[in-house]
């Protein structure tokens, strides 16, 4: 349904740097465009993954010279200079664009834009993807009119929010793209082997890849090569930095493990087909990936990133494990230990189709396929005033 209130309006999305921040924003942007003739802009970073994701959409993209918060103490001068430049560039863009509303996606690039939007008294919506509020969003909580939370029981660490004061918090779930939402609508069973008897394992290390996850899966296969007697297809998103190494190692493994088939890419533009075909997923525990896996109903082994801020990936993973949707393998400082634990979890699930089916059902119960629509409803309500 078209909303005339959106026609001609400018909507700015602020933040990014990773697929986990950007993809929910892209889902909301697509829903906004489908409802009216609004103009969409993304203000974020110059990271290649961000440019790659936004380039496919055709939306305007402005990159800011931000510097990671964790690097502040290593080079405080550069941190201050970059963020000062980012603030003035973001300020200039908002004054030029005159948006009807600004949406914060998380990440340091959101901070200067949301601060200026608040100064201009523009309506502000924050999307919080993780079960524990991120640092950028935590800093900006008091500036927002509405926070759209992905998890019931999100940990805000804010007396203001916990007391039910401004901003208003609603649980919408994490917005997913239309092609992912359709997986929730179809809800087909993919936990048993496909017609050609391939057992499909989808490996995801996040939009930037994860060297530790890549190595854990490869080492698991090496440990298991004498026990793999059926056709297994590995579909592996390896990340740009580690792609060449992973591709080369797999080429050697295919020669020594009968029945092993491999599809490896730095990044998959559209994972929906592989979600639909996957019998089992091995993944990091980023919130956006989890939202997509829930819609697809994929039984999953989660290897949370141990260096995530506030241990948010571990907390995300534990939430899914406690719901019966996933098995958590915590990454060990010893790579061989991680591979051994992963092997144990894999073989337990590989030959227990009933448990995989139960996990798939539990995954779907955690899905919020209508999240993008709910967030868009909130945006329209704020613009209407």
User: Are 92 and 62 within 8 A, CB to CB?
Assistant: no
Strands 124-128 and 326-328: unpaired
Does 300 appear as a known binding residue? no
Phi/psi of residue 208, nearest 5 degrees: -100, 0
Residue corresponding to tokens 């590989």 = 350
Partners of residue 260 on adjacent β-strands: 232
What does the block give as tokens for 43? Answer: 């203000």
Does 313 appear as a known binding residue? yes
Does 324 appear as a known binding residue? no
Nearest to 334 by CA among 229, 188, 219, 203: 219
Does 177 appear as a known binding residue? yes
Instruction: Count other Cβ atoms within 10 Å, centred on residue 118.
Output: 16
- How far apart are the C-alpha atoms of 273 and 77, rounded to whole Å? 46
Does 244 appear as a known binding residue? no
Residue corresponding to tokens 């005339």 = 4
User: Are 235 and 200 within 8 A, CB to CB?
Assistant: yes
Does 332 appear as a known binding residue? no
Does 20 appear as a known binding residue? yes
Q: How many residues does this entry show for the chain?
A: 385
| Residues in binding site for UDP-N-acetyl-alpha-D-glucosamine | 18-20, 130, 177, 207, 313
| Residues in binding site | 18-20, 130, 177, 207, 313
């Amino acid at each position: 349904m078209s909303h005339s209130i959106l026609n001609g309006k400018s909507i700015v999305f602020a933040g990014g740097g990773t697929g986990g921040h950007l993809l929910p924003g892209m889902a909301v942007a697509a829903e906004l465009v489908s409802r009216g003739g609004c103009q969409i802009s993304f203000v974020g970073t110059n990271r290649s993954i961000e440019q790659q994701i936004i380039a496919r959409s055709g939306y305007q993209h402005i990159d800011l010279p931000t510097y990671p918060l964790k690097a502040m103490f290593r080079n405080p001068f550069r941190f201050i200079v970059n963020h000062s430049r980012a603030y003035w560039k973001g300020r200039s863009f908002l004054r030029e664009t005159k948006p009807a509303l600004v949406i914060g996606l998380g990440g340091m690039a959101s901070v200067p834009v949301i601060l200026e939007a608040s100064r201009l008294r523009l309506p502000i919506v924050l999307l919080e993807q993780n079960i524990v509020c991120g640092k950028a969003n935590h800093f900006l909580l008091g500036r927002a009119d509405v926070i759209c939370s992905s998890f019931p029981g999100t940990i805000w660490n804010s007396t203001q929010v916990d007391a039910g004061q401004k901003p208003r918090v609603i649980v919408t779930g994490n917005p997913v793209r239309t092609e992912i939402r359709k997986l929730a609508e179809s809800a087909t069973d993919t936990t048993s082997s496909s017609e050609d008897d391939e057992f499909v394992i989808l490996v995801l290390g996040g939009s930037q890849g994860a060297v530790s996850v890549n190595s854990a899966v490869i080492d698991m296969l090496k440990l298991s090569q004498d026990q793999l007697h059926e056709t297994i297809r590995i579909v592996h998103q390896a990340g740009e930095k580690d792609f060449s190494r992973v591709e080369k190692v797999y080429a050697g493994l295919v020669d020594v493990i009968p029945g092993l088939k491999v599809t490896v890419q730095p990044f998959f533009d559209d994972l929906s087909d592989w979600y639909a075909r996957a019998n089992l997923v091995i993944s990091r525990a980023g919130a956006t990936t989890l939202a997509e896996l829930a819609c697809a109903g994929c039984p999953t082994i989660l290897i949370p990133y141990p260096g995530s801020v506030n241990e948010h990936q571990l907390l995300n993973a534990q939430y899914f494990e406690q719901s019966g949707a996933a098995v958590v393998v915590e990454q060990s400082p010893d790579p061989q230990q991680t591979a051994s634990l992963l092997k144990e979890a894999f073989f337990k699930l590989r030959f227990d189709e009933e448990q995989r089916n139960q996990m798939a059902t539990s995954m779907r119960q955690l899905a919020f396929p209508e999240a993008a629509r709910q967030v868009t409803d909130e945006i329209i309500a704020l613009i209407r005033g």
